[in-house]
């Protein structure tokens, strides 16, 4: 299941402290949706201006519903470029093993609290919306078509709280937007404390589904039995596939320093070359400047150790964990043998690979070391 | 009035099987009431709190089959707290004490205990059929009791229940003398079972028509079971993983060819896509295919499979089939009546697997479509209008846009016009679930056109009380109304209180209803139970009437307040 995006936020941007500043997106009203799920729309790694900023394909937005800056708009257009049937180069889906699997735990409670605080605030706000018609939706939406009725601008406080996290440098307007909305958001809960029987939305989300994802309780309307079974089935299928045999052979790929893992299906490649290209593509955002220099189509593959060479220019080596639990350098054995024994892949910094491939280490030291940044 | 002796009238009544009709018949006159009640064998109780078991037993001494539903529908989505109610125990106890010769018990959303199951198994010598849907509270020990004690058991059907699995060899509890099984469904159980016992059980059940396995039954056992039961009509496969080159797999391929009675296929809880080709031979005759629990199958696998299913009438599938896959369904399955598309990853919009396009394709390819459950990421008014043009036979139309207030992404308009078109052109619509950005307008349409509507589910919709009023005033046949997170308040609730006596129930949560209004309603209408469900600790019912009620469940009843309510429920 998709992991909570606030986890990424906490990991990547310490400037965002309060969990209650979640961007609640406007829906309808001609305003663009700020959908945390929208991060997956971004196939825009190939869009030049944005790619370097969307390494994690997440964007922290702290605006109020409907509030947006022109810059956000452009960016969102870019995000929207990712049409459903295009195959993005990096389908940056928050997969089960994806974003912040490691940080999932520390996020849960904080997020819950934050979400329910905000929800409380917005639950009360709803009262304002429908009686006073003076809520921020109108003001914020001034640059779009005028709200037909309050209902259009309605944000029923319980619907999807959407968070888009950004790894953009803090200097960007995200921080400017932060202060104002944050304050407004925080005022509301305080003002309306204890005067309502309205429960916190999260109160009885007792299913296995990760509550920390800023979900609305009971939405989408699917029986917990179904979600649990599907989750268990998916897990089993992956595990089943981890053994050599028919079907896909998915193994996790870890890259040193990357905030999330990926998975590759080893059966979709037949040579180390293919695997190497795929890994490059997957992780190029973490190794800026390295793409293009490898993946040399047409060049003959001299040996299985080509992979080593290819990635060594970038200070990284690819290693794998075999059946016995040992970490080995990729490329030493024939491909067929490799996929039968490989359980996991790890892209390590050459400096950490001492002992695995001393040659590689020397080689990379000899190269100009470049700056690597992910999340700028 | 009555020109015929009672026996003749009773014989005539034998031909009247629908509950509605029998209920109507019983209201004609006293004589017919009497004849009907003595001859009634099947009773359906949609809300277990609307009547007591004692009154049921008193009225229908010939009762053989009882269907009970407990919790409200929104309990399915965690909106009803644990221990709210819906206990079957008092029913079984009362029936056991009486002289009712119960043969069939069907429960939905009820709390069932092992003790109840044991009592059930020992109290009715002719007990034949137990169907539990979305129930909870029992373990495999209870199931074992049923297996062990019901000598003439024909049907044991466990659907989507939360069962604590003790792996206690419940299957082995079927005595060797038990040869009457017609239907066995244990797909929802998570634990291991004794495979040898299962094989023997199937071998000695010549009447077995329906068999649904859980994920712990591997492919080689499946092959052996099919050898024993080639007469199966309904098959649910547990684990379907093997190497296509193995001997077991080729045996399976052979034996499947012999199973030409299979019309319904489900399961694939674990699946290796490369093994699916063995299934193709039975696809030709399938009328029901349920792959909604098979996330191991990708869009391509699903599409390839569906291409063989030309006689399909009901399809339950995951959204990874994609719009293109739905196009294949549309061009292949011309007999399709029911389609359910579930989200494979409900919380991730990245993979927007199905959109309005898929639905439009289905509507134009499948003219017999009458029942739809569709989870998607977006929908447009244009698409809904097209669907409404293509399909005018809908009985059930449930659309769930995963982002609850999403507007038409093309026009940024609410989806009022789209749903309006649906209700306008589908005059037989009985059940409707709405989603997306919606204003009061859609309710105006529903009130105007959905004259046969019986169940309506609303979430995050509407602007004002008018919305709810349009529905209450317009939908004369409304039986169940469930609303969450809508701006409907006291005015709408109190406008026509008598209406609720014509309905089974009303659920309103996170709306704008105040405690005061609830009190008024409860006072005015003693034939209704009004429950306020409140779990937060700040609940001091010192009680300002202006406080907003978070969850309200209103239902008609003949027996007043229930005695088993938990503390957090306030019965006004």
pLDDT digits (tens, 9 = 90+) for B360-381: 999 999 999 999 999 998 999 9
- The answer to whether residues A44 and A79 touch, using CB atoms and an 8 Å cutoff, is yes
- What is the number of CB-based contacts under 8 A between chain A and chain B? 215
For the record, the structure tokens of B397 come out as 């139309």
How many CA atoms within 13 Å lie on the side-chain side of B515?
A: 20
Nearest partner of B333 among B297, B357, B364, B360, judged by Cα: B364
User: Is B412 in CB contact (< 8 Å) with chain A?
Assistant: yes
Q: Is the pLDDT of residue B482 over 50?
A: yes
For the record, the structure tokens of B442 come out as 């859609």
Highest mean pLDDT among A117-121, A275-279, B422-426: B422-426
User: Is A208 in CB contact (< 8 Å) with chain B?
Assistant: no
For the record, the structure tokens of A145 come out as 């078509």
Q: How far is B488 from chain A (nearest CA, A)?
A: 10
pLDDT, greater one: B6 or A243: B6
For chain B, percent of residues with pLDDT exceeding 70: 97
Binned at pLDDT 50, 70 and 90, residue B411 comes out as very high
Residue B207 to residue B181: CA distance in whole angstroms: 6
Min mean pLDDT across A308-322, B148-162, B364-378, B465-479 is at A308-322
Residues of A in contact with B439 (CB under 8 A): 148-149, 151-152
- The answer to whether residues A315 and A323 touch, using CB atoms and an 8 Å cutoff, is no
Find the residue in B nearest to A221 (Cα).
B77
Binned at pLDDT 50, 70 and 90, residue A355 comes out as low
Angle between helices B19-26 and B30-39 (to 10 degrees): 140
Residues of B in contact with A247 (CB under 8 A): 241, 272-274
B440–A198 C-beta distance less than 8 A: no
Q: Does an H or E element contain A71, and which?
A: helix A70-81
CA torsion B450-B456-B458-B463 (nearest 10°) is: 40
**3-state SS string for B272-300:** CHHHHHHHHHHHCCCCEEECCCCCCCCHH
Task: For A59-84, write each residue's pLDDT tens digit.
Answer: 444 444 444 444 444 443 443 443 43
A60 SS3 class: strand
pLDDT of B168 reads 66
Question: For the CA atoms of chain A, what is the radius of gyration?
Answer: 23
Average pLDDT of span A1-8: 41
Task: For A136-150, write each residue's pLDDT tens digit.
Answer: 333 333 333 333 333
Residue A263 β-bridge partners: A252
pLDDT, greater one: B454 or A373: B454
Backbone φ and ψ for A98, nearest 5 degrees, come out as -85, -130
B79–A217 C-beta distance less than 8 A: yes
Residue reference for tokens 């309006």: B420
Average pLDDT of span B540-557: 84
Residue A276 to residue A293: CA distance in whole angstroms: 12
Residues of B in contact with A201 (CB under 8 A): 510
B274–A223 C-beta distance less than 8 A: no
Backbone φ and ψ for B211, nearest 5 degrees, come out as -135, 115
Binned at pLDDT 50, 70 and 90, residue B566 comes out as confident
Average pLDDT of span A202-210: 37
Q: How far is A371 from chain B (nearest CA, A)?
A: 31
Q: Is the pLDDT of residue A132 over 80?
A: no
- Report CA torsion sign: B429, B433, B434, B440: positive
Q: What is the DSSP letter of B512?
A: B
Q: For chain A, what are the domain ranges?
A: 250-287+303-352
Nearest partner of A231 among B472, B296, B225, B511, judged by Cα: B296
Nearest partner of B387 among B402, B400, B399, judged by Cα: B399
Nearest partner of A148 among B538, B202, B439, judged by Cα: B439
Residue B83 to residue B81: CA distance in whole angstroms: 6
For chain A, percent of residues with pLDDT exceeding 70: 24
CA-angle at B376, arms to B370 and B381, nearest 5°: 75
B515–A197 C-beta distance less than 8 A: yes
- The answer to whether residues B473 and B447 touch, using CB atoms and an 8 Å cutoff, is yes
For chain B, percent of residues with pLDDT exceeding 90: 82
Dihedral class, residue A177 (left if φ above 0, else alpha if ψ from -120 to 50, else beta): alpha
Residues of B in contact with A27 (CB under 8 A): 403, 405-407, 437
User: Is B125 in CB contact (< 8 Å) with chain A?
Assistant: no
Residues of A in contact with B269 (CB under 8 A): 229, 233
pLDDT of B432 reads 97
Average pLDDT of span A244-263: 74
Average pLDDT, whole number, for chain A? 52
Q: What is the DSSP letter of B87?
A: B
B460–A156 C-beta distance less than 8 A: yes
pLDDT of A327 reads 85
Q: Does an H or E element contain B459, and which?
A: strand B455-459
Q: Does an H or E element contain B552, and which?
A: strand B551-556
Highest mean pLDDT among A126-135, A178-187, A259-268, B272-281: B272-281
Highest mean pLDDT among A208-212, B296-300, B560-564: B560-564
Average pLDDT of span B388-393: 96
pLDDT of A179 reads 41
Residue B450 to residue B445: CA distance in whole angstroms: 8
Backbone φ and ψ for B240, nearest 5 degrees, come out as -130, 65
CA-angle at B474, arms to B471 and B476, nearest 5°: 105
Question: Residue B133: is it exposed, middle or buried by C-beta count within 10 angstroms (0-12/13-18/19+)?
Answer: middle
Find the residue in A nearest to B437 (Cα).
A28
Residue B242 to residue A246: CA distance in whole angstroms: 7
User: Is A246 in CB contact (< 8 Å) with chain B?
Assistant: yes
Average pLDDT, whole number, for chain B? 92
Binned at pLDDT 50, 70 and 90, residue A161 comes out as very low
pLDDT of A347 reads 86
Find the residue in B nearest to A57 (Cα).
B350
Binned at pLDDT 50, 70 and 90, residue A44 comes out as very low
Predicted structure pTM score: 0.66
Find the residue in A nearest to B350 (Cα).
A40
* Own/partner long-range contacts of A141-150 (Cβ < 8 Å, ≥24 apart): A141/A26, A141/A29, A141/A30, A141/A31, A141/A66, A144/A29, A144/A30, A144/A31, A144/A66, A145/A29, A145/A30, A145/B412, A147/A29, A148/B439, A149/B439, A149/B463, A150/B463
Q: Is the pLDDT of residue B352 over 80?
A: no
A154–B485 C-beta distance less than 8 A: no
Highest mean pLDDT among A170-179, A284-293, B485-494: B485-494
Q: What is the DSSP letter of B549?
A: P
Find the residue in A nearest to B296 (Cα).
A237
Residues of A in contact with B292 (CB under 8 A): 226
Binned at pLDDT 50, 70 and 90, residue B540 comes out as low
pLDDT of A238 reads 58
Q: How far is B339 from chain A (nearest CA, A)?
A: 16
Average pLDDT of span B526-541: 76
The ipTM of this complex is 0.90
To the question of domain A250-287+303-352 being in CATH 3.40.50.10310, the answer is: no
Task: For B143-176, write each residue's pLDDT tens digit.
Answer: 999 999 999 999 999 999 999 988 768 999 999 9
CA B244 to chain centre: 36
Q: Is the pLDDT of residue A174 over 50?
A: no
pLDDT of A285 reads 64
A158–B400 C-beta distance less than 8 A: no
Interface of A with B in 171-200 (CB under 8 A): 194-200
Binned at pLDDT 50, 70 and 90, residue A159 comes out as very low
User: Is A367 in CB contact (< 8 Å) with chain B?
Assistant: no
How many CA atoms within 13 Å lie on the side-chain side of A122?
A: 29
Residue reference for tokens 């569906």: B306
- The answer to whether residues A127 and B547 touch, using CB atoms and an 8 Å cutoff, is no
Find the residue in B nearest to A37 (Cα).
B349
Residues of A in contact with B414 (CB under 8 A): 28, 152
- The answer to whether residues A374 and A286 touch, using CB atoms and an 8 Å cutoff, is yes
Find the residue in A nearest to B343 (Cα).
A222
Question: Residue A14: is it exposed, middle or buried by C-beta count within 10 angstroms (0-12/13-18/19+)?
Answer: exposed
Q: How far is B204 from chain A (nearest CA, A)?
A: 31
A94–B510 C-beta distance less than 8 A: no
- The answer to whether residues B539 and A197 touch, using CB atoms and an 8 Å cutoff, is yes
Nearest partner of A25 among A187, A137, A147, A139, judged by Cα: A137
- Report CA torsion sign: B373, B379, B384, B387: negative
B228-263 burial by CB neighbour count: b if 16+ within 10 A, else e?
bbeebbbbbbbbbbbebeeebbebbbebbeebeebb
- Report CA torsion sign: A82, A238, B272, B171: negative
Dihedral class, residue A319 (left if φ above 0, else alpha if ψ from -120 to 50, else beta): beta
Min mean pLDDT across A173-187, B53-67, B115-129, B440-454 is at A173-187
CA-angle at B20, arms to B16 and B25, nearest 5°: 60
pLDDT of A353 reads 64
Residue of A1, A194, A197 lying closest to B347 (CB–CB): A1
pLDDT, greater one: A50 or A320: A320
A28–B407 C-beta distance less than 8 A: yes
Binned at pLDDT 50, 70 and 90, residue A154 comes out as very low
Q: Is the pLDDT of residue B346 over 80?
A: no
Residue B120 to residue B539: CA distance in whole angstroms: 39
Task: For A324-345, write each residue's pLDDT tens digit.
Answer: 788 888 888 888 788 878 888 8
Residue B415 to residue A152: CA distance in whole angstroms: 11
User: Is A80 in CB contact (< 8 Å) with chain B?
Assistant: no
pLDDT of A160 reads 36
Residue B461 to residue B564: CA distance in whole angstroms: 34
Residue B511 to residue B530: CA distance in whole angstroms: 15
Find the residue in A nearest to B399 (Cα).
A221
Residue A178 to residue A195: CA distance in whole angstroms: 28
């Amino acid at each position: 299941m998709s992991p909570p995006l606030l986890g990424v936020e906490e990991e990547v941007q310490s400037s965002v402290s309060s969990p209650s500043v979640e961007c609640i997106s406007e829906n309808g009203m001609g305003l663009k949706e700020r959908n945390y799920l929208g991060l997956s729309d971004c196939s825009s790694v190939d869009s030049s201006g944005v790619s370097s900023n969307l390494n994690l394909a997440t964007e922290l937005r702290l605006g109020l519903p409907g509030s947006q800056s022109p810059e956000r708009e452009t960016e969102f257009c870019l995000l929207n470029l990712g049409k459903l049937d295009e195959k993005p180069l990096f389908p940056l889906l928050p997969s089960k093993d994806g974003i912040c699997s490691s940080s999932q735990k520390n996020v849960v409670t904080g997020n819950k609290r934050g979400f329910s605080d905000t929800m409380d605030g917005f639950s009360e706000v709803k009262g304002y919306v429908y009686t006073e018609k003076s809520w921020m939706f109108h003001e914020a939406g001034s640059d779009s078509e005028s709200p037909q009725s309050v209902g259009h601008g309605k944000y029923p406080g319980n619907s999807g709280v959407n968070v888009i996290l950004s790894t953009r440098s803090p200097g960007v307007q995200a921080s400017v937007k932060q202060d104002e909305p944050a304050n407004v958001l925080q005022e509301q809960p305080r003002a309306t404390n204890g005067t309502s029987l309205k429960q916190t939305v999260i109160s009885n989300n007792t299913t296995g589904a990760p509550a920390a994802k800023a979900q609305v309780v009971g939405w989408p309307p699917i029986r917990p039995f179904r979600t649990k079974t599907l989750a268990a089935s998916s897990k089993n299928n992956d595990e089943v596939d981890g053994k050599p045999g028919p079907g896909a052979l998915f193994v996790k790929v870890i890259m040193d320093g990357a905030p999330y893992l990926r998975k590759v299906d080893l059966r979709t490649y037949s040579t180390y070359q293919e695997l190497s290209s795929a890994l490059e593509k997957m992780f190029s955002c973490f190794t800026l400047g390295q793409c293009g220099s490898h993946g040399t189509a047409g060049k003959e593959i001299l040996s299985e150790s080509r992979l080593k060479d290819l990635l060594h220019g970038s200070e990284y080596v690819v290693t794998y964990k075999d059946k016995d639990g040992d970490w080995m350098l990729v490329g030493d054995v024939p491909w067929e043998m490799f996929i039968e024994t490989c359980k996991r892949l790890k892209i390590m910094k050459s400096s950490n690979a001492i002992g695995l491939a001393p040659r590689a280490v020397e080689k990379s030291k000899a190269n100009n070391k470049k700056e690597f940044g992910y999340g700028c | 009035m009555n020109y015929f002796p009672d026996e003749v009238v009773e014989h005539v009544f034998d031909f009247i099987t629908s509950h509605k009709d029998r209920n109507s018949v019983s209201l004609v006159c006293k004589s017919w009431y009497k004849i009907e009640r003595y001859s009634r064998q099947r009773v359906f109780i949609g809300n277990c709190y609307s009547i007591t078991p004692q009154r049921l037993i008193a009225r229908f001494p010939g009762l053989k089959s009882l269907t009970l539903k407990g919790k409200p529908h929104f309990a399915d989505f965690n909106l009803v707290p644990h221990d709210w109610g819906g206990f079957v125990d008092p029913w079984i106890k009362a029936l056991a004490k009486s002289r009712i010769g119960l043969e069939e018990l069907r429960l939905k959303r009820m709390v069932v205990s092992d003790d109840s199951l044991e009592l059930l198994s020992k109290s009715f010598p002719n007990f034949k059929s137990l169907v539990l849907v979305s129930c909870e509270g029992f373990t495999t020990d209870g199931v074992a009791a049923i297996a062990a004690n019901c000598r003439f058991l024909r049907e044991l059907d466990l659907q989507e229940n939360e069962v604590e699995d003790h792996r206690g060899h419940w299957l082995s509890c079927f005595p060797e003398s038990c040869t009457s099984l017609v239907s066995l469904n244990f797909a929802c159980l998570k634990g291991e079972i004794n495979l040898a016992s299962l094989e023997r059980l199937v071998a000695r059940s010549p009447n077995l028509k329906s068999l649904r396995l859980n994920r712990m039954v591997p492919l080689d056992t499946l092959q052996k079971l099919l050898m024993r039961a080639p007469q199966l009509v309904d098959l649910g496969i547990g684990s379907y993983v093997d190497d296509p080159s193995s001997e077991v797999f080729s045996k399976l391929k052979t034996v499947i060819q012999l199973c030409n009675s299979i019309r319904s296929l489900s399961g694939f809880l674990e699946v290796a896509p490369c093994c699916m080709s063995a299934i193709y031979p039975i696809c030709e005759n399938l009328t029901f295919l349920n792959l909604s629990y098979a996330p191991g199958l990708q869009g391509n696998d699903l599409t390839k499979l569906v291409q063989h299913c030309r006689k399909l009438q009901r399809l339950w599938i995951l959204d990874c089939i994609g719009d293109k896959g739905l196009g294949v369904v549309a061009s292949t399955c011309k007999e399709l009546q029911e389609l359910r598309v579930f989200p494979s990853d409900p919380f991730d919009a990245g993979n927007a697997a199905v959109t309005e396009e898929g639905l439009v394709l289905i509507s134009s390819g499948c003219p017999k479509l009458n029942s739809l459950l569709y989870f998607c990421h977006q929908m447009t008014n244009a698409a809904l209008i097209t669907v409404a043009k293509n399909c005018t036979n809908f009985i059930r139309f449930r659309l769930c846009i995963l982002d609850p207030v999403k507007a038409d992404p093309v026009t940024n308009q609410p989806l009022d016009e789209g749903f309006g078109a649906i209700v306008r052109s589908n005059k037989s619509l009985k059940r409707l679930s709405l989603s997306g950005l919606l204003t009061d307008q859609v309710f105006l349409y529903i009130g105007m056109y959905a004259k046969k509507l019986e169940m309506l589910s609303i979430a995050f919709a509407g602007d004002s009380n008018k919305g709810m009023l349009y529905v209450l005033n317009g939908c004369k046949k409304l039986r169940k109304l469930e609303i969450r997170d809508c701006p409907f308040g006291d005015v709408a609730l109190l406008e026509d209180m008598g209406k609720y006596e014509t309905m089974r129930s009303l659920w309103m949560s996170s709306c704008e209803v105040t405690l005061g209004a609830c009190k008024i309603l409860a006072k005015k209408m003693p034939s209704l139970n009004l429950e306020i469900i409140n779990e937060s600790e700040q609940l001091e019912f010192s009680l300002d009437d202006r406080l907003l009620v978070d969850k309200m469940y209103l239902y008609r009843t003949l027996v007043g307040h229930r005695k088993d309510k938990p503390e957090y429920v306030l019965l006004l």
